[in-house]
Amino acid sequence: MVELLKSSGVKLPEKTSEYNLTRKKIHFRDMSNEERTALVAKDPAYGRIVCRCEGVTEGEIRDALESPIPPASLDAVKRRAGTGMGRCQGGFCGPRIVEMLMERSSGTSPLSILQDKEGSNLFFERTAESKEVEA
Ligand code: FES
């Protein structure tokens, strides 16, 4: 593949850094109780379960949102952190993840949050009630 790309004129510069072997993904639900206790003592965000069906914590979702290439939609978070794939299909955890997506990029309107691809906006417009609260 490399030779094929080179022969077609694609520039393939040598990487200046090694693969990051220190990057570690936390799977809270696969940990022992002792490991969970130690992790929560270090970072309480791992003690808050956001996705009850899949046992995914706020800390795991935050880690995904702070990764070098952060997920930008509800489904992207689902693919990274494993949320929204349980019995309720995101009915319970979805709203909190939307909040976390908005918190990550402060000032983002909920109207711009996507389910997945461009045009899959979760919300169409503000309700009359939310407009009153804003005023
Ligand atoms: S709470 Fe996340 S899928 Fe049910």
Mean pLDDT of all residues in 107-127? 89
Q: What would the pLDDT profile of 34-76 be if each residue is shown by its tens digit?
A: 999 999 999 999 999 999 999 999 999 999 999 988 999 999 9
Q: Is pLDDT of 107 > 80? A: no
The mean predicted confidence, pLDDT, of the chain is: 91
Closest protein CA for atom 1 of ligand 1: 51
pTM for this model (two decimals): 0.80
Distance 57 CA to ligand 1 centre (A): 11
Whether 88 is in the pocket of ligand 1, judged by its Cβ within 6 Å, is yes
The finding on whether 101 has its CB within 6 A of some atom of ligand 1 is: no
Query: Ligand 1: does its nearest atom lie under 6 Å from the Cβ of 86?
Result: yes
HEC string of the chain equals: CHHHHHHCCCCCCCCCCCCCCCCCCCCHHHCCHHHHHHHHHHCHHHHCEEECCCCEEHHHHHHHHCCCCCCCEHHHHHHHHCCCCCCCCCCCCHHHHHHHHHHHCCCCCHHHCECCCCCCECCCCCCHHHHHHHC
Whether residue 52 has its Cβ less than 6 Å from ligand 1: yes
